[in-house]
A = this chain, B = another copy of it.
Amino acid sequence: MPLPTIEWDKGKVKMIDQTRLPDELVYIYCSEVKSVWEAIKNLRVRGAPALGIAAALGTVVGIQDSQAVDYDNFYKELEEVTGYLATARPTAVNLFWALDRMKAVAEANREQALSRIKELLLKEALNVIEENRKECRDIGRNGAELIKDGDTVLTHCNAGGLATADYGTALALIFTAQEEGKRIKVYADETRPLLQGARLTTWELLQAGIDTTLICDNMAAQVMKEGRVNMVLVGADRIAANGDTANKIGTYGLAVLAEAHNIPFYVAAPTSTFDLSLDNGSQIPIEEREAEEITCSFGKRIAPEGVKVYCPAFDVTPARLITAIVTEKGIARPPYGDSLKK
């Protein structure tokens, strides 16, 4: 069982500061919604399922000291908290999904005492964690059949325990396959600009004793051409009704390359990552991040002043490039419109 990435700790949100990994394992404790917002914005906590948990726990932190004496004022404050948290990052739908769950709990219990509603909100946030824990295990179990003994998997960014409450999404398949006695190797893209692959994925995989090779993102095509990997496996930040999948920038390119090399391309995500209100991926908002994430990398300026920068944090992989999507409920295959509804 991996270290808890994010949890509730006596009135505070306790989380691993992932920006400090792999140098040091440091926990931060957020007792204000503002510090949860900052942690999300600055990727101290990241990964779609973990963002859902951060949003749920952040809502509790933001509302627990409410001095409201009636439901309407309480709910107004709750909406301010959830509205604020919703501004932290735009792409991962799990964040909005969790905020909606929290508001729905308050609405469904509007006749209860406010102290009771606060208890129920905390209970709901803990449910989000517990459900995600189970989802990770189920995703791993459902998807492990896709990985054969001796396979080598290419992954991008971090879809591991650090992105969830437990075992990860994409990495859950690998961890489970390993537990089943299969010998698995992994190539991990470093994942510029923030290097979640180099810093987080390799760290998790090495802790689990998995044979892990780090490459730069631009080496993936060559690794495929040389036959070093026989599948690509990634997580997701938002999946539209037709199966189009937003994930960390670079994922779309990998999917095109996988198709060109006849390598299957798998997505693993809990159903909370689906946004069935969107017909297709063109409607998914894509976060653009600050130029400095690219130009001031490694604590050092790496590009001349004055250069323009384009820094999309995500891209959308069209459903036609996705061999299968693994969820806690099973494996969906094309055409996704029907199998996702099911």
Chain A residues engaging chain B, CB cutoff 8 angstroms:
22-23, 187, 189-193, 195, 198-199, 202-203, 206, 211-223, 225, 228, 249-250, 252-253, 256-257, 260, 294-295, 297-304, 306-312, 315
- Give the interface SS of chain A, mostly helix, strand, loop or mixed: mixed
Partner of A214, one of B190, B299, B307: B307
Q: Which residue, A22, A198, A225, A260, has most C-beta atoms of chain B within 10 A? A: A198
- For A306, the chain B residues whose CB sits under 8 A away are 206
Copies of the chain in the assembly: 2
A340 to B311, CA, bound (A): 39
Contact status B300-A199, CB under 8 Å: no
A302 to B308, CA, bound (A): 25
* The 5 residue pairs across chains A and B that have the minimum distance between CB atoms: A218-B250, A221-B253, A217-B218, A192-B216, A298-B298
Given the known interface contacts A216-B192, A257-B256, A308-B213, the answer about A222 and B315 at a Cβ–Cβ threshold of 8 Å is: yes
A256 to B261, CA, bound (A): 10
Contact status B303-A190, CB under 8 Å: yes
- For A192, the chain B residues whose CB sits under 8 A away are 190, 192, 216-218
A202 shortest CB reach to chain B, Å: 4
- 23 A-B pairs with CB atoms under 8 Å apart are A23-B301, A187-B310, A190-B192, A190-B303, A192-B192, A192-B217, A193-B216, A195-B302, A198-B303, A199-B302, A199-B303, A203-B304, A206-B307, A211-B308, A213-B309, A214-B303, A214-B310, A216-B250, A218-B218, A222-B312, A222-B315, A298-B299, A300-B300
A303 to B189, CA, bound (A): 11
Additional 17 contacts, C-beta under 8 A, given A218-B249, A299-B300: A22-B304, A23-B301, A187-B310, A202-B303, A206-B306, A212-B307, A212-B308, A214-B303, A215-B294, A215-B310, A219-B311, A221-B315, A222-B252, A225-B252, A253-B257, A260-B260, A300-B300
Contact status A217-B214, CB under 8 Å: no
- For A253, the chain B residues whose CB sits under 8 A away are 218, 220-222, 253, 257
A259 shortest CB reach to chain B, Å: 8
Contact status B250-A190, CB under 8 Å: no
Contact status A308-B214, CB under 8 Å: yes
